[in-house]
Amino acid sequence: ILVALLSVGSAVVLSRTKRAAFELPDGAQVLVKEIKTTFSCAGLHSGYYADVDNNCKIFHICHPQTIADGTLKVEHWSFLCGNQTIFNQGGFTCAFPEEAVPCEIAPKFYDLNNNIGVENAPFQTDDDVARVYEAIRSQ
């Protein structure tokens, strides 16, 4: 019986798949009418990125890494913000549009990801916070 349970357990583990780019929950098309799959992590630092082509209702986590043989491997996951919210590139959260960096200028804030993984680096500098505040206030 133990062998049978172990076999079933390993089969269940093997059948799991990793979440990947643009694998969004059922019903995502209700919030994002026509999902565009144009976003790419190519050339981006590890971090969180608003998807402007999908009106920032989708965001992506990019994680480039160099593996042992020197090959660059880029992991890419996609997520959907909740109803009536967009991804705020200024704070890496979903927020109401009036409380977020305007979607169309989100790429100007992609550099906020540059401190991710840097030991003893602040999440954001005072200049970063001021820049985000000004972008939100100017809407």
Q: What is the pLDDT of residues 104-131, one digit of tens each?
A: 999 999 999 999 989 999 999 999 999 9
Q: Which of 43, 47, 35, 30 is nearest to 114 (CA)?
A: 47
Domain ranges of the chain: 19-137
pLDDT for residue 81: 94
Instruction: Determine the 3-state secondary structure of 132 from DSSP.
Output: helix
Tens of pLDDT along 55-111?
999 999 999 988 899 888 899 999 999 989 999 999 999 999 999 999 999 999 999
Residue 16, C-beta contacts closer than 8 angstroms, at least 6 positions apart: none
Per-residue pLDDT of 10-25, as tens digits, reads 444 444 444 567 767 6
- The single-letter DSSP state of residue 55 is T
pTM for the full model? 0.80
Structure tokens at 81: 């913000």
